[in-house]
Structure 1
Amino acid sequence: MWRKSLFYSIFCLFFMQAQAIQLLIPMDDSQRNHLKSYGIAYWVLQHNVEVKWLLNYRGGSFLMQHYPEFENECVVRGVTFEAITDAQASAILNEIARPEVNQDAVSMNKAPKIAVYTPPNKLPWDDAVTLVLTYAEIEYDKIYDEEILEGKLKDYDWLHLHHEDFTGQFGKFWRTYQHMPWYQQDVSINQALAEKLGFLKVSEMKEMVTREMDKYVLNGGFMFAMCAATDTYDIARAAAGVDICGPMFDGDPADPDAQEKLDFSHTFAFHNFKLEMDPNIYEFSDIDATNTRKVVRENDYFTLFEFSAKW
């Protein structure tokens, strides 16, 4: 009798293991909503459940332990998912682990705390980053110069920069938009904030903000910049202590020797760039190759290569 009981127990154990399921969120063309899928992964991490990011596997899919609540949330958010057995999940991970396969499985265990650097007067449709994060249902905080200079960056794992002009030239929109209410409001808000924080010029405030961001990155924080933030950040770092702003921006002339005084040892990504000092030209420097790369659209090609997940 005990042998039958033992056999039955072993059979039940194997049956339960075979039926245990994982939740796979594919990120290839089968996925109905890619942005919401990232939100699901973030939401699961908030519930202290490990998520495996399967790099280069079906578009970078997500794999996690199955719970009814997770499946229901996918249904509510319109996210495509597949319930697979533990055996199927193990087969996927074993395939990914093969040294000749350029795929990898990254274990994620913590939902990062995200800050988006954006001014308080920014309208929702002005900032693609906040639009995407809001749609994906990924939590984030909005911070600006005052919060950064108060030392609050240390509370975040990830900092995102978008449209910001860190040179103090207000996006170099002066020639075209100087009479527009939104431009005048942006200038007034930044000037008032600089005065409140004890700076004579907006450019001086922005330069100090970039110093704090430097410290944040050096201490292990992740920072991602796009649009105007990519080049104006390094320009502000190289121009620390140098006046590169014309009188329409800060009330006095720019230093005529500003170019020669740039210190590229402070920059993150760019060096040896040449400033565009003309306030009537909508460029900050030759980092932006829009006006120098003379290639017609029909002849302008680039090649995408597979992400190097493993090698």
Structure 2
Amino acid sequence: MENRVPTLFRSDCRRKAFMLLAFLVLLVQQSLAVYLLVPMDDRQKNHLKAYGIAYWALERAIEVKWLLNYRGGSFLIPYDAGVENECLVRGVSLEQLADAQANALLADMARPEVNQDAVSMQKAPKIAVYSPPNKQPWDDAVTLVLTYAEIRYDIIYDEEILGGKLKDYDWLHLHHEDFTGQFGKFYRNYQNMPWYQEEVSTNQELAQRLGFLKVSEMKRVVASEVRNYLELGGFLFAMCAATDTYDIAMAAGQVDICESMYDGDPADPDMNGKLDYEQTLAFTDFTVEPNPYVYEFSDIDVSTTRKVQQNQDFFTLFDFSAKWDPIPTMLTQNHSRIIKGFMGQTTAFDARLIKPNVLVMGENKAAGEARYIHGETGKGFWTFYGGHDPEDYRHLVGDPPTDLNLHPSSPGYRLILNNVLFPAAKKKKQKT
């Protein structure tokens, strides 16, 4: 009688053989895919969360190479199952490269005639956001994008800075803040609003507790501590009014530029004749707006004088040499060189008032506006970015925060995240 293998047994054998084959194929693929490429060109589904992947890897001591000028500033990471899984969970596009492919790519980028470079990042920078303790009626683009990208940060304010906490951080962002002590010059329109009154009282109480007679005096000392942080090698990033008010406070020094509704006594009528521009980071020869009822700090900002229509409001990023100017190259990595403009209390900077040693990285040349500028101070670096929210053209007090799920590939927000990773990838400019 002929022996027959039961059908069920044969089916089970085939299934096990198939599973074994699939397992072997997976092993082969993983042995070949020794690198993970996180593309940052138009093939990336979520550019903003991709920065979070790079930061996540750095937190786990996984080296990340930032491929400058290659496919929008892509990231190359040694194969790691955790990184691969995080990309899948966060919806970040990923490609696998064999060792030979990765080596060929890096060799090609290293050729002198190719305007590309690979910069190694090995440690995640520790991030602090300078932000008030009370809830203000506006959001902050940096905290929004850090949260969306799942990059951790600490909130600090005047007390922590004056207590010497800045030394614990590699990167500092100045939240929408007025360093002149004029509370954003919101007095005319919002003096009776609870949030405004809370901000004033909170800052006045803090100043008194820390031994200052005026909020403006406290802010000036805080600004000086930030300057010391820069001198010692810190990284500073600021947007909107935190940019020009910082320089105004530094230039004013002991000069009283606040009227009585802000600090209880009149401002110095000769304030503009006593400004010391040697103390500023970015701007020179500017004039402070003395009228407390005018919603403007100085002529640095062009919000009230610009004649740019919204449908024509764009600024262009400069191209830099990846090998000879790696720092600005890092800070301008993007999948688009043309960025939509956006308003703010400080929208853009009058190009005529920028110091000659400051590097302009993004501008609307026709309008005479600089939007994105950078400089060095001592051992440290700073970047100023005009405007309030890259995906909300005219963000008003009380408007809801931007939902970045609707803008996962925002070129304007990418500039912020370039600065976040910059301390991990710092590379000194080479000398010719």
Q: TM-score scaled by structure 1?
A: 0.91
- 2:116 is matched with 103
Q: Which piece of structure 1 moves more, 235-244 or 86-95?
A: 86-95
- 1:30 is matched with 43
- 1:127 is matched with 140
- 2:175 is matched with 162
CA pair 267-132 structure 1, distance change in 2 beyond 3 A: same
Structure with the higher helix share, 1 or 2 = 1
CA pair 154-124 structure 1, distance change in 2 beyond 3 A: farther
Q: Post-superposition shift, 1:71?
A: 0.6
Q: Post-superposition shift, 1:300?
A: 6.2
2:56 corresponds to 1:43: yes
Q: Is the 8 A contact 2:135 2:195 kept in 1?
A: no
Partner of 1:107, secondary structure, is strand
What is the root-mean-square deviation of aligned Cα atoms in Å?
Answer: 1.9
- 2:403 is matched with none
| Cα-to-partner distance string for 1:43-90 (whole Å, 9 max, x where unaligned) | 100111110000111110000101111111111111111111011111
Q: Is the 8 A contact 1:125 1:131 kept in 2?
A: no
Distance 1:79 1:299 in 2: 32
CA pair 124-301 structure 1, distance change in 2 beyond 3 A: closer
Q: Is the 8 A contact 2:136 2:195 kept in 1?
A: no
- 2:289 is matched with 276
Distance 1:89 1:80 in 2: 17
- 1:221 is matched with 234
Q: Is the 8 A contact 1:160 1:224 kept in 2?
A: yes
Partner of 1:126, secondary structure, is coil
CA pair 298-34 structure 1, distance change in 2 beyond 3 A: closer
2:304 corresponds to 1:291: yes
Structure ranking higher on relative contact order (CA contacts 8 Å, 6+ apart): 2
Distance 2:232 2:310 in 1: 42
2:273 corresponds to 1:244: no
What does 1:2-17 align with in structure 2 at a 5 Å threshold?
none
CA pair 17-172 structure 1, distance change in 2 beyond 3 A: closer
Distance 1:22 1:296 in 2: 46
Q: Is the 8 A contact 1:18 1:86 kept in 2?
A: no
Q: Is the 8 A contact 2:49 2:149 kept in 1?
A: yes
2:159 corresponds to 1:146: yes
Distance 2:293 2:146 in 1: 34
| Cα-to-partner distance string for 1:101-125 (whole Å, 9 max, x where unaligned) | 1111110011000001011113596
Distance 1:46 1:307 in 2: 29
- 2:83 is matched with 70
Q: Post-superposition shift, 1:296?
A: 5.3
| Cα-to-partner distance string for 1:184-214 (whole Å, 9 max, x where unaligned) | 1111111111011010100000000001001
- 2:66 is matched with 53
- 1:210 is matched with 223
Equivalenced residues, count: 297
Distance 1:166 1:94 in 2: 48
Q: Post-superposition shift, 1:245?
A: 0.2
Partner of 2:36, secondary structure, is strand
Identity of matched residues, %: 70
Partner of 1:176, secondary structure, is helix
Amino acid at match of 2:152: E
Q: Is the 8 A contact 2:137 2:195 kept in 1?
A: no
Q: Is the 8 A contact 1:124 1:130 kept in 2?
A: no
CA pair 237-138 structure 1, distance change in 2 beyond 3 A: same
Distance 2:312 2:72 in 1: 29
- Structure 1 spans left out of the alignment, 5+ residues: 1-14
CA pair 158-304 structure 1, distance change in 2 beyond 3 A: closer
Partner of 2:224, secondary structure, is helix
CA pair 293-123 structure 1, distance change in 2 beyond 3 A: closer
Q: TM-score scaled by structure 2?
A: 0.66
Distance 1:140 1:287 in 2: 30
- 2:351 is matched with none
Partner of 1:160, secondary structure, is strand
Q: Is the 8 A contact 1:238 1:265 kept in 2?
A: yes
Q: Post-superposition shift, 1:32?
A: 1.0
CA pair 300-148 structure 1, distance change in 2 beyond 3 A: closer
Distance 2:79 2:30 in 1: 13
Q: Is the 8 A contact 2:33 2:96 kept in 1?
A: no
- 1:9 is matched with none
Residue of 96, 109, 117 corresponding to 1:83: 96
